[in-house]
Structure 1
Amino acid sequence: MENSEGATFNTPISEILDVSGYSSSFVKTYGTYGIVVAVIVSIIIPMLLSTLIMGKKKRKKRGVPVEVGGEAGYAVRNARFSELVQVPLAGATTMAALFEQCCKKYSRDRFTGTRKLIKKDFVTASDGRKFEKLHLGDYEWQTYGQVYRRVCNFASGLVNFGHNVDTRAAIFAETRAEWQIAFQGCFRQSITVVTIYASLGEEALIHSLNETQVSTLICDSKQLKKLAAISSRLTTITNVIYFEDDEAANVSSLSNWNVCSFNEVEKLGERAPVPASLPSKDSVAVIMYTSGSTGLPKGVMITHGNIVATAAAVMTVIPRLGRNDVYLAYLPLAHVFELAAESVMLTAGVAVGYGSPLTLTDTSNKIMKGTKGDASALKPTLMAAVPAILDRVRDGVLKKVEEKGGVAKKLFDIAYKRRLAAIEGSWFGAWGLERWLWDIIVFERVRAVLGGHIRFMLCGGAPLSGNSQRFINICMGAPIGQGYGLTETFAGAAFSEWDDTNVGRVGPPLPCCYIKLVSWEEGGYTTSDKPMPRGEVVVGGFSVTSGYFNNPGKTDEVYKVDEKGMRWFYTGDIGQFHPDGCLEIIDRKKDIVKLQHGEYISLGKVEAALMSSDYVDNMMVYADPFHNYCVALLVPSQKVLEKWAKEAGIQYNDFPELCGKAETISEVQRSLSKVGKDAKLDKFEIPAKIKLLPDPWTPESGLVTAALKIKREQLKTKFKDELQKLYE
């Protein structure tokens, strides 16, 4: 497995679960007879009781229709709020004001936690490649009060270092405590921050920095080499501030810029404080460059009002959120999902421990064998994840269960079915003694993977499959708040509530916005559809951003202001509202292609269905409108495919050769056909031809986003010849 962020998510927990140990501790304590008695008491009796006391559940109203003006459509607001919420705390109308209030309110509580490096080593794989392994220490914490002083020092130091406060600063770095300190520091001087993914390609990086005319760049020390290589093409950069790492930074190649370490900038500010110059709620706080799925990235202008509105709204959704919680931060802070999540944690006084995808668990790529990953060291109560991570967590655990077989597999299957029945409300008793029993025998070992204390998970970035949502509910013992939002709405649109056990939905509108469905006649989705209204999802309210930087044409295309002055964003997603007011995303306008004989095919829908094949690690479905069938590019799961080849007696020299064999393609296609039929796809929706690609798609390759969503246009360009051959 390659040592990269993208590769880390391929099988993140496939080797963690020692299923053979599921029942060992319980048997030692209670004996085999104890298990038999406990199962009878906790299963048979509750089943009998359930028939007596279970009544029909009353459907809770979560969203209600509302008249809000603007384009005709079916609009819904959050059922608990008659008016939109705008601020999380009185007077906190900007991120700068919110940060200051929270740091004073929680001044003695833990805020940011970081692990120090104890030891670094390299291991050599069988193919000669070397991989870095780290031994990291326990989390070391700074309080809200301490972080506030560091932020004030950095803000002053930034001015003393020579940054012109009338120009923009950019952060180009991995997620870490200093990222957040720099971010908040800029706001104390009303400086707009440009955020850029650390994995962004060279051309996109140059475009983002030049377009926004950034004068100060804040980055990881490992990015200095990349900056030196493109320095002649960066037209406005004058200052570079780098985060110190464990190795000395090489700044000799950056002689044409003023270069300083982050710590030195803090010291400059500590020696010579500069009065704060705080922004207004309508000021642009962030220009966030997306690693979008088409062309060069677009910079979304996010105001301070947008950020605090989303934070205020999400605060109403997560139960008992507060200073007793611990949040594991490892997703890219340059992504709106993580930035919004950390803004919520700040508002509630939560302790935030920083990690990375490469050190997340005890068996992550960079963790030295026998030492702890971030989750084991931190024991978080809250964490965020994108669906691609949760899907692979589920697949990794289930494959490990399958490999162990025997009693362990039977116990897991029984436990899973019983807990599923409980969640879906079939049997009353499965929440009491039985839940405790199955947790001890089966699920404690699964939960230990993420520290064993997770009580709530936030999921966003893409649709989460029902199977993965149920798996996390059961095996991690925690509800999932599945969110729907975009960079253009600062992640604030819809969010499922903790007590909603339905799958496949993203909940009611957050109380900071309205959601409206507007009919799309061409695609066959209208607000008069029965049994549920359907249409393009349009979001209006305080979380809707100002538009795209330096791109008025695109802004006018998807942002509209109605007669009441409310700003609406047209998402391009197709949704439907359930009777209880919860939204479900069912399609995307740009993903729909009309085939030669007039059939419409939704590429995203087909991909989501076929991804459940064990052979599929990633895929892109492609449809040429001049033909009557679709094709697919597919990255197969190397482990699963090689296992099949061994059992089938297929001879091959390496994985690329295996991917090219006719019998391999035939086997994968057979699996896709079965999965497609089970998902009730039409015949024309199942790819008639496929191409197996041996190399994984990673953010570094530019073929998927940082949230691991495929970049359709980039894939079509890179594999243009392969797609053409599939239609020959």
Structure 2
Amino acid sequence: MSVFSFDSEYLFAPSDKSGAQLLEQYIPVEDEILRKKLADSAPIPGTEREGYSAVYRNAAFPRVLKSGISSDLNTYGKFFNSTVRSKPDNPCFASREYDYVQKKSADHYSTLTYSEVNTRKKNFGAGLLYLLSNSNFLEPAKYNSHQKIVDHVKNYGTYDKNNMSFILTVFAPNRMEWMLTDIMCCDYSITNSSLYDTLGPDVSKYILELTESPAIVLDKHNINTILNLKRQFPKALENLILLISMDPLDLEGKNESISFEDVSNVSAARELGITLIDLDRVEKVGEIFPHKELPSTPESTYTISFTSGTTGSKPKGVVLSHVTAGAGITFLHPTLAPPKNGKAFAFLPLAHIYERQNTAYAISLGSLIGFPQLGGTPLTLIEDLKLFKPNVLTNVPRVYTKFEAAIKSATIEHPTSLFTRSLFDKILNSKKELQSKQDHDPGYHFVYDKIFLSKIRAKFGFDDMVFSVCGSAPISVSTIKFLKAALNIGFSQGYGLTESFAGMSVTISFDSDPGSCGSCGITTEMKLKELPQMGYHANDEGGPRGELLLRGPQIFSHYFKNEEETSKAFDEEGWFHTGDVAKFDSRGRIYIIDRVKNFFKLAQGEYVTPEKVENAYLSANPILTQLYAHGDSLKHFLVGICGVDIPLARKFLKENCQIKIQEGTNEDEIVALINQKENRKLALAYVNEIVSREGKLSGFEKLHNLYFEIEPLRLDRDVITPTTKLKRPIARKFFGEQIDAMYKEGSLIDKNKL
């Protein structure tokens, strides 16, 4: 009899063992047949309807969607507390201690155990409730959120998606205290939300006003930002009465300059009706006034995650319950094979749900989670990785392509050594061939792995890496194959949205045929809606194509205080319409190929979907790091604003344009060279030739002119969202001069200027 349940909402059948014991004993899945089925989705017979594909579910568990591991593991809080009981001495969080006087991080990582984090969590929760309940600025008769503070202990067991607690806000980059706050909220039934630097004051004000948040946990860097918002918009932030600094506040004069700023901020906050206190003092209050935990129920709201609009509109608050969070964690367990003594690195912003799903999964395994150094950037990532040496890393395509370029320049594209180029060309081709033979095959080669590839791994802090995961944007198949071979790691690609608690599909780590986003997980079902106006049908040759629709325990319930957008997002049967166009292959694996709303008509009457064009070029051409494809109904061709990979551009100019690049030529000079008309013509021909080989685009979907920058699509220009989605109307306005110039210049692939 199987330990797994095929007919209930839980992964495991009823047992006298705890969920943690079952996970420890039976995950990763050893059964060969079940493991193969987990990698596929299957259509449910009899679910076809006109205009839609069949409903697909994970092939291993087609009868009932799962919502949790077991009845005792169906919320994030239960996962954490289960790990505390079973692995109290396991290291939980690792960070580089920061010297606030010298303004530098330690050269090593220090850790807290699960037991220590649990103690801090309890003290934090108790201190927070005491300070809010006894605040001199609390006005329950005037503000609903303040009344919720008063009633919290009495009402916490009744919370659901429509009746939630007061909302605590987190405003800081990734750090240990961010996750401590998140876990504390779970065990004291407090719904949280988050802000981040790139939102700007208007959107931050909008979120704080909408959520009526009475408390913010933030880093010291953001204290003045919030105080200024309160001064500027006192009515919008009238509910706010407590700021908790993750960084220590020097109120005793230990360091004159630091103390002066901190004392001034405490005084300024008080004048604005806000108590400013640091986390250390909050925990001390909790020690003095302990409070029992108030555990969240599956129905209560875990978090409200705000998604940035791509048209410049206000963000939508995605309401995610604890059962949704539990399902998001459950989805990953049978899908990914976790390494023993797991060490995950939390690099992507915790303000977005993608990294919170990853870290929650790590918590459920009893893994150690490492954080970037305070003030860290993508440029300091390698330094942190070398010190921490994770065995699991989740990141985005742009970072992985940087790794790819750096490795290539030291191996198969070595600038001076023919021997090095030849040697690594042989090694990497051999590894790729070994890894493509069958699923789950790491392509082990004793000599290559131990002698050569281990040195590459060490340069990037990948010494202990088992697998990496990529999401949020398309990544080239060639990049996946190269990194798997060169770094000797598993590499998974997934798909998800904020509305699905991040990933709801992911490939196996050693996929012999990479390129898809994997099968749907055990917590979600999916189908496709035909889009005949875009040429996508359920009976298309090669597999059904259409808009991807999702349903199940892992899908959000509604947008916060936004019935209009909620009603647009769901149909009458409860299917969430993602807006993404997908294809299912013969194994039920997902390929994202387009977007529903983003299409326009060219002058000759042809319809173009720019995301399809952008994905095709980016996945086929590593020299392009970013692309904004633009079309005009008065023009007959497309133009592109491109981000260019500098090392590959340098190589292209040398080999294809016969330009001698001097040793000291900087990045701006490289961009200036490739933007010269004759070089742009050659670059355009180069990328068009490569994308033509893929056969994914029609002639009218090809680019006819290009403009290059190092990184044109940046947050500070407001042309992309924090999750890197393109804001097309804003991008059109921002790059108007360049777009108009390209159209004036005409097509670079036509013989005559049109």
TM-score where L is the length of structure 2: 0.79
Q: How does 1:434-513 map to 2 (within 5 A)?
A: 435-448=445-458, 449-513=460-524
Distance change in 2, residues 1:211/1:727 (3 Å): farther
Residue by residue over 1:13-32, the C-alpha shift from the partner in whole angstroms, topping out at 9 and shown as x without a partner, is xxxxxxxxxxxxxxxxxxxx
2:207: which partner in 1? 208
2:409: which partner in 1? 399
User: In 2, are the aligned partners of 1:61 and 1:581 still within 8 Å (CA)?
Assistant: no
2:319: which partner in 1? 301
CA distance in 2, matches of 1:119, 1:409: 46
2:43: which partner in 1? 65
2:23: which partner in 1? none
Tell me the secondary structure at the aligned position of residue 489 of structure 2.
coil
User: In 2, are the aligned partners of 1:340 and 1:490 still within 8 Å (CA)?
Assistant: yes
User: In 2, are the aligned partners of 1:493 and 1:539 still within 8 Å (CA)?
Assistant: no
Of 412-421 and 655-664, more deviation after overlay is shown by 655-664
Residue among 327, 336, 349 paired with 1:318: 336
1:599: which partner in 2? 606
1:76: which partner in 2? 56
Q: How does 1:580-599 map to 2 (within 5 A)?
A: 580-599=587-606
Tell me the secondary structure at the aligned position of residue 594 of structure 2.
strand
Residue by residue over 1:113-156, the C-alpha shift from the partner in whole angstroms, topping out at 9 and shown as x without a partner, is 111246998xxxxxxxxxx9x55322211111111111111111
Q: How does 1:702-717 map to 2 (within 5 A)?
A: 702-717=718-733
Distance change in 2, residues 1:495/1:561 (3 Å): farther
User: In 2, are the aligned partners of 1:331 and 1:385 still within 8 Å (CA)?
Assistant: yes
User: In 1, are the aligned partners of 2:440 and 2:510 still within 8 Å (CA)?
Assistant: no
Distance change in 2, residues 1:98/1:424 (3 Å): closer
2:4: which partner in 1? none
**Amino acid aligned to 1:509:** C
Does residue 90 of structure 1 match 2:71? yes
Distance change in 2, residues 1:483/1:145 (3 Å): same
CA distance in 2, matches of 1:68, 1:107: 49
> Where in structure 2 are there 5+ consecutive unaligned residues?
1-35, 134-145, 150-164, 250-257, 745-754
1:124: which partner in 2? none
User: In 2, are the aligned partners of 1:196 and 1:288 still within 8 Å (CA)?
Assistant: no
User: In 2, are the aligned partners of 1:330 and 1:357 still within 8 Å (CA)?
Assistant: no
Does residue 242 of structure 1 match 2:220? no
2:185: which partner in 1? 186
State the Cα distance separating 1:668 from its structure 2 match.
Answer: 3.3
Distance change in 2, residues 1:196/1:532 (3 Å): same
Tell me the secondary structure at the aligned position of residue 502 of structure 2.
coil
User: In 2, are the aligned partners of 1:120 and 1:135 still within 8 Å (CA)?
Assistant: no
Distance change in 2, residues 1:480/1:639 (3 Å): closer
User: In 2, are the aligned partners of 1:197 and 1:291 still within 8 Å (CA)?
Assistant: no
**Amino acid aligned to 2:537:** T
CA distance in 1, matches of 2:106, 2:66: 42
Distance change in 2, residues 1:346/1:561 (3 Å): farther
Residue by residue over 1:387-436, the C-alpha shift from the partner in whole angstroms, topping out at 9 and shown as x without a partner, is 2211221122213432243111111111111111111219999945xx11
**Amino acid aligned to 2:342:** D
CA distance in 1, matches of 2:518, 2:421: 34
Q: How does 1:22-171 map to 2 (within 5 A)?
A: 62-66=40-44, 72-81=52-61, 82-117=63-98, 134=104, 136-162=106-132, 164=146, 165=149, 166-171=165-170
Structure with more contact order per residue of length (Cα contacts < 8 Å, sep ≥ 6): 1
Residue by residue over 1:595-642, the C-alpha shift from the partner in whole angstroms, topping out at 9 and shown as x without a partner, is 222323231232233335465332200112332211111233445556
> Where in structure 1 are there 5+ consecutive unaligned residues?
1-57, 122-131
CA distance in 1, matches of 2:374, 2:523: 31
Does residue 339 of structure 1 match 2:309? no
CA distance in 1, matches of 2:343, 2:720: 30
Residue by residue over 1:245-293, the C-alpha shift from the partner in whole angstroms, topping out at 9 and shown as x without a partner, is 6966642543412111111111111110123333321222111012343
Distance change in 2, residues 1:400/1:207 (3 Å): farther
Q: How does 1:675-714 map to 2 (within 5 A)?
A: 675-680=690-695, 681-693=697-709, 696-714=712-730
Residue by residue over 1:59-101, the C-alpha shift from the partner in whole angstroms, topping out at 9 and shown as x without a partner, is 9972221158697432111111132211124323333333222
Distance change in 2, residues 1:713/1:315 (3 Å): farther
Identity across matched positions, percent: 24
**Amino acid aligned to 1:272:** F
**Amino acid aligned to 1:318:** L
Of 507-516 and 207-216, more deviation after overlay is shown by 207-216
**Amino acid aligned to 1:92:** L
**Amino acid aligned to 2:130:** N
Does residue 624 of structure 1 match 2:604? no
**Amino acid aligned to 1:419:** K
2:140: which partner in 1? none
Equivalent residues, number:
646
Of 71-80 and 377-386, more deviation after overlay is shown by 71-80
State the Cα distance separating 1:704 from its structure 2 match.
Answer: 3.1
Tell me the secondary structure at the aligned position of residue 335 of structure 2.
coil
Distance change in 2, residues 1:101/1:602 (3 Å): same
**Amino acid aligned to 1:636:** V
CA distance in 2, matches of 1:663, 1:358: 42
Distance change in 2, residues 1:74/1:244 (3 Å): same
User: In 1, are the aligned partners of 2:42 and 2:588 still within 8 Å (CA)?
Assistant: yes
Q: How does 1:230-379 map to 2 (within 5 A)?
A: 230-231=229-230, 232-233=232-233, 234-235=236-237, 236-244=239-247, 250=262, 251=265, 252-255=267-270, 256=272, 257-295=274-312, 296-321=314-339, 324-355=341-372, 365-366=379-380, 373-379=383-389
**Amino acid aligned to 2:639:** V
State the Cα distance separating 1:172 from its structure 2 match.
Answer: 1.2
2:400: which partner in 1? 390
State the Cα distance separating 1:347 from its structure 2 match.
Answer: 1.0
User: In 2, are the aligned partners of 1:613 and 1:671 still within 8 Å (CA)?
Assistant: no
CA distance in 2, matches of 1:237, 1:718: 36
Tell me the secondary structure at the aligned position of residue 383 of structure 1.
strand
**Amino acid aligned to 2:88:** S
